[in-house]
Chains A and B, each alone.
Chain A
């Protein structure tokens, strides 16, 4: 129901950020992610960032996909905790 895309925060002007995805820039509101900082990847929905992408988790997800053995299930059911 909700399209959202990750994009990188490149500029902050108070509560308005500029995010970039492969050269395409857009403004988005940072009201829901007040702790976002330049360089963070943000998940953007309808012109508003709704979460900061946890890059460590993104890496682990990718790894879990690549390995696909026991690790995967343990990871997805929360038995492998990342730094948090």
Chain B
């Protein structure tokens, strides 16, 4: 496949940056939110934030599924991990998220059987490897991952496996965007929309941003130039005052998304209210398994006794960070009590978390930034 070379990339980036300077009014401050955690990391990795003219700020939104997983969910996962008859299968990032009594790394060190997997499909192999155990997959994620988990449930069903269950906490991007904008104090002038979520859902679900909120938005890929191109697009929309869902990632994001995935998700799931760490419960912002698929629902098949879930850690500002109200370094814990090695809040836990990315790529113990 035809790919852009590093030399080309430098040239393209330089001209995109020039366009950004042309389009930006130096008198004003505009804030664009990148919704997706992979964007957050890409922006830091490529050093994009410092390249932009003064007055264009990028703020990191609630798009890291690990970061928005709430305390109650982690407590459920920890409760399952403590059971002798359970094998927990999970993506690596989940092990560090704090629950009320600890995290899954500690469970693992204390003998819990936890398998770190790369693909949800690996539960099929685990089911065969441990026929006497119950395999519970920690099914977190946004639309991209939901589609893959749905395909996994379908595959488990097709194989007739009886010992595989899913602890579901699926979250949807469009309702979260609506919630952000419905806060009258929001500071958002445009959205960099998540490329791989859009692969599944297409452009249409974001149309309300333009129609109802006159909000520029643009679907972006994850390369530095794709991100810069999307910023150009947002500035164009702002300048022309014509709003639509831009798309700089059309090689994989079709207008209508992936209809096979959408149908499968519709077959398996129904909308549900869902709790977001730091934001609270948002109506119809999640998905749960439909009744006819409850054979795979861990909470239905392996009910947990009641237990109390504590509030999040004291002083942690994850909620405000996720909503773009403050930069991570405005949190009193940031870089002091809360670091990637000893995270307090979930935004510091995941490598994609706003705080972790901010700490790792934009802030280090030696000082804040690179000075020319």
A–B direct touch, CB within 8 Å, in complex?
yes
Give the interface of A toward B (CB within 8 A). Answer: 1-4, 6, 8, 15, 28-29, 31-34, 41, 43, 45-48, 50-51, 53-55, 57-62, 64-66, 68, 72-73, 75-78, 82
| Given A1-B142, A50-B144, A31 and B155 contact (CB-CB distance below 8 Å) | yes
Contact B251 A2 (CB under 8 A): no
Minimum CB–CB distance for A15 against chain B, Å: 7
Can you name 13 extra interface pairs (CB under 8 A) apart from A32-B260, A53-B1, A77-B246?
A1-B38, A1-B65, A46-B148, A47-B118, A47-B119, A51-B253, A53-B252, A54-B251, A68-B12, A73-B233, A73-B236, A76-B229, A78-B255
Asked if A2 contacts B260 (CB within 8 A), the reply is: no
Bound-state Cα–Cα, A29 to B153, Å: 12
B319 within 8 A of A: no
A6 with B261, Cβ < 8 A, contacts A51-B252, A61-B248 known: no
**Residues of A contacting B144 with CB < 8 Å?**
1-2, 4, 45, 50
Which of B141, B232, B248, B249 has a CB less than 8 Å from the CB of A2? B141
Q: If the complex has contacts A1-B141, A29-B121, A48-B119, are A78 and B244 also in contact, measured as CB distance less than 8 A? A: yes
Complexed CA–CA distance, A78 and B197 (Å) = 19
The answer to whether the Cβ of B345 comes within 8 Å of any Cβ in the partner chain is: no
* Interface residue range, chain B: 35 or more
The answer to whether A47 and B38 touch across the interface, beta carbons within 8 angstroms, is: no
Contact check, A2 vs B261: say whether CB atoms are below 8 A apart.
no
Bound together, the chains give a CA A14 to CA B110 distance in angstroms of 41
The verdict on B15 contacting chain A, using a C-beta distance below 8 Å, is yes
B229–A2 contact, CB under 8 A? no
CB neighbours (8 Å) of A31 from chain B are 151, 154-155, 260, 264
- Decide if A54 touches B2 in the complex (CB within 8 Å): no
Are B251 and A61 neighbours in the complex by a CB distance under 8 Å?
yes
CB under 8 Å from chain A, chain B span 303-327? none
Whether B352 pairs with A1 at a CB distance below 8 angstroms is: yes
**A46 to B92, alpha carbons, bound, how many Å?**
12
Question: Which residue of A has the minimal Cβ distance to B251?
Answer: A58
Q: Which residue of A lies closest to B233 (CB)?
A: A76
Contact partner of B251 among A4, A34, A46, A55, CB < 8 A?
A55
Whether B15 pairs with A2 at a CB distance below 8 angstroms is no
Whether A32 touches B252, Cβ cut-off 8 Å, given contacts A1-B65, A2-B194, A50-B199, is no
- The CA of A68 and the CA of B232, in the complex, are separated in Å by 11
Q: How far is the CA of A22 from the CA of B121 in the complex (A)?
A: 24
Assess the A45–B145 pair: CB atoms within 8 A. yes
- Judge whether A41 and B1 touch: CB under 8 Å: yes
Q: Is B180 an interface residue (CB 8 A)?
A: no
A74 to chain B, nearest CB (A): 11
Q: Is the CB of B37 within 8 A of A1?
A: yes
The answer to whether B38 and A76 touch across the interface, beta carbons within 8 angstroms, is no
CB<8 Å pairs between A and B, sample of 18: A1-B36, A2-B38, A2-B145, A4-B144, A29-B121, A29-B155, A31-B155, A31-B260, A43-B252, A47-B118, A48-B120, A48-B147, A48-B152, A58-B2, A61-B249, A68-B12, A68-B19, A77-B236
